[in-house]
Amino acid sequence: MTLLSQLGLPGSCFDANVHGGDEGYPEFPAPNGPHSDVPFKCEYPKLKDWSSCSTPDNRECWLRGNIHTNYDAVWPEGITREYFLEVDQKNINADGINNPDGKACWGDEIKLTVKNRLEFNGTTVHWHGFRQWNTTEMDGVNGVTQCPIAPEDSYIYTFRATQYGTSCDPLIITNWNHRSAFKDWQKELVPKPDFPKMNSGKKYLLGIINTSVDITYIFSIDNHEFTVMTTEFFGLLTLLVCLGQRYHVVLTATPNVIDDSTPPDNYWIRVIPADGCKGFETGNEPDERQGILEYDAKNIGVPSTVRGNFPKACRDEHYDILTPIVPWKIEPIELSALASSQFDVGKKTRPSRPLPVDNFSWWALGEDPLWLDFADPTILSLGNTTWNKDHVVVSKNGTAETWVYLVVTGPPPKALLALNKRYQMHLHGHDFALLAQGTNTSELQNDQLKFDNPPRRDVVLLPTEGYIVIAFKADNPGSWLFHCHIPWHASSGLALQILERQDDLRSQIGSRPK
């Protein structure tokens, strides 16, 4: 483990003479949502004589890191956060998130015990967006990185939070009530929605996560602009969030009004399904959900603001404006050299699957739909020199400095006899560089790949008839799933697994304590 304390990072405002906590090491409160029960603190016992340099007047640095710190290479060593999770089956009145949130600070070790209380099904837990640095067996993909957790059995996931990001009190694109039913009953027997209370002129950091299964959303707040922080700083009136994507945005609580004398009002927060990016209730317009941004707690009126006139097309945020703060350069390669790394989305027929009488069409990335054997996960067969074609193992060897390239193309709608217009492609184990993205495969050969500081993502939208070209460095040995994030696409074959540096992975897992 490389410790941040061993490095002299630029932009540090560390003062060795000031302690961050009573124990003589950095100890400071982390962001807590308005409904957090217990104050949450970050602690770094191994960083003696260090202090947190973040103050109310200066948020540019923390410890000896700042926004320019390359978290792929360095991170602090925090404490162990232990959680217990039971997966059960019962009838519930689900309304949004009904589990407690798990919190950790940058550099913490996360140790989570999962108990399977399901009667008939095995299960696993995947940690979306976590890089799982050198811990591929903790990625939680049954049939690839582990066997399913059997009913009444347990599994302990242990991994390091080497990244930081949208993880605390986000705006989940759904709705739920934070209070108990008894508290609501005491408040006039009619629950009122929770309005975000804003102080005019201040800035607020919002985390936005799309947790849906088949809808890409457009997020907006009437009469307000916000700045995206998770990539480059750029102002937007709307933000298109694909399945599995996460954003941090800074909202300045200064509404755009025609007359400066107009007092602050209540404003609609809108979440709108993008045209062609939704699989439910086709033609049911308007199909949007609203929240309310409130400046005056005494003003409980319904907002009168009008939605902006913005396009609702099915697309990703254009990669030209997604410029990483921590720059990276990708090793150049000619597109013509990537023929063996091109995978076309399509449909394949596989008779007798899953039952002998069946004859279904399956999604596929390339020639074969992914069909895993849960009892034979890939990382338990690392001595193999050949693989079952149903497991769609794509071997990529080399060193930690080797770049891996993938080209993925979407088929025309007529080839599928379906209305699917998009695929949200997600890679486990890595952030990837988005070298190119387009809406017409005929333009692929003439596209210019971007090698100088391309966008950094782990989920990207692939349009029907479109293409993406991505690259990642083979610096994290593992068997990593690459799949469409629409669940029924992935579960019906639209996935493959990239076996990265097989020999190094076998040595790594073989050296683990038994």
Is residue 429 in a domain? yes
- Secondary structure (H, E, C), 53-69: CCECCECCEECCEECCC
Nearest to 211 by CA among 180, 176, 249: 176
8 Å CB contact between 508 and 477: yes
Angle at CA of residue 364, ends 360 and 366, nearest 5°: 135
> C-alpha dihedral over 333, 337, 340, 344, to 10 degrees?
80
DSSP string, 462-489: EETT-EEEEEEES-S-EEEEEEESSHHH
Is residue 285 in a domain? no
Burial of 325 (0-12, 13-18, 19+ CB in 10 A): middle
Which distant-in-sequence residues (6+ apart) come within 8 Å of 123 by Cβ?
A: 87, 114, 116, 142, 148, 149
- Can you give the pLDDT at residue 182? 41
8 Å CB contact between 345 and 410: yes
Is residue 383 in a domain? yes
Query: Does residue 87 have a pLDDT over 50?
Result: yes
- Can you give the pLDDT at residue 263? 59
Backbone φ and ψ of 236, nearest 5°: -140, 150
Highest mean pLDDT: which range of 71-80, 201-210, 288-297: 71-80
Is residue 105 in a domain? no
Judged by DSSP in three states, 504 sits in helix
Assign 233 a pLDDT band (cuts: 50, 70, 90).
very low
Give the C-alpha separation, 59 to 106, whole Å. 16
Which element (helix H / strand E) includes 241?
strand 238-241
Is residue 444 in a domain? yes
Q: 76-90, 202-216, 251-265 — which is least confidently predicted?
A: 251-265
Count CB neighbours of 216 within 10 A: 25
Identify which has the larger pLDDT, 52 or 141: 141
Q: 77-81, 101-105, 427-431, 478-482 — which is least confidently predicted?
A: 101-105
Give the C-alpha separation, 135 to 157, whole Å. 10
Count CB neighbours of 90 within 10 A: 5
What are the tens digits of pLDDT across the range 9-49?
Answer: 333 322 333 344 456 677 766 666 555 556 778 888 888 76
Nearest to 476 by CA among 394, 398, 424, 376: 398
Q: What domain range includes position 69?
A: 1-78
Query: Does residue 193 have a pLDDT over 50?
Result: no
Mean pLDDT to the nearest integer, 267-292: 71
Q: Which of 78, 109, 140 is the last residue in one of the domains?
A: 78
- Can you give the pLDDT at residue 232? 42
Assign 443 a pLDDT band (cuts: 50, 70, 90).
confident
Mean pLDDT to the nearest integer, 211-217: 71
Number of domains in the chain: 2
8 Å CB contact between 319 and 455: yes
Nearest to 378 by CA among 362, 394, 364: 394
Mean pLDDT to the nearest integer, 346-374: 85
* Mean pLDDT estimate for the chain: 77
Token pair 């945020």 is at which residue? Answer: 317
Assign 170 a pLDDT band (cuts: 50, 70, 90).
very low
What are the tens digits of pLDDT across the range 110-161?
Answer: 999 999 999 988 999 998 888 899 999 999 999 999 999 999 999 999 999 8
Is residue 377 in a domain? yes
8 Å CB contact between 454 and 434: yes
Largest interatomic CA distance in the chain: 74
Is residue 324 in a domain? no
Identify which has the larger pLDDT, 72 or 342: 342
Nearest to 445 by CA among 337, 319, 316: 337
Query: Does residue 332 have a pLDDT over 80?
Result: yes
Which distant-in-sequence residues (6+ apart) come within 8 Å of 100 by Cβ?
A: none
Give the C-alpha separation, 327 to 64, whole Å. 19
Question: β-strand 467-473 against 246-252: which pairing, if any?
Answer: unpaired
Which distant-in-sequence residues (6+ apart) come within 8 Å of 321 by Cβ?
A: 232, 234
- CB-side exposure of 433: number of CA atoms within 13 Å? 22
Which element (helix H / strand E) includes 222?
none
- Can you give the pLDDT at residue 124? 93
Is residue 36 in a domain? yes
What are the tens digits of pLDDT across the range 372-418?
Answer: 999 999 999 999 999 999 999 999 999 999 999 999 998 876 655 45
Give the C-alpha separation, 423 to 441, whole Å. 15
8 Å CB contact between 220 and 255: no
> C-alpha dihedral over 481, 486, 488, 492, to 10 degrees?
-40
8 Å CB contact between 321 and 232: yes
% of the chain at pLDDT higher than 90: 31
Identify which has the larger pLDDT, 167 or 204: 204
Judged by DSSP in three states, 100 sits in coil
Mean pLDDT to the nearest integer, 62-71: 77
Give the C-alpha separation, 284 to 216, whole Å. 16
Mean pLDDT to the nearest integer, 449-475: 91
- Can you give the pLDDT at residue 253? 79
Which CATH number does the domain housing residue 455 bear?
2.60.40.420
Give the C-alpha separation, 137 to 158, whole Å. 9
Assign 361 a pLDDT band (cuts: 50, 70, 90).
confident
Q: Which of 58, 78, 98 is the last residue in one of the domains?
A: 78
Burial of 353 (0-12, 13-18, 19+ CB in 10 A): middle
Q: Which of 25, 60, 78 is the last residue in one of the domains?
A: 78
Identify which has the larger pLDDT, 173 or 432: 432
Query: Does residue 171 have a pLDDT over 70?
Result: no
Query: Does residue 190 have a pLDDT over 50?
Result: no
Identify which has the larger pLDDT, 500 or 106: 500
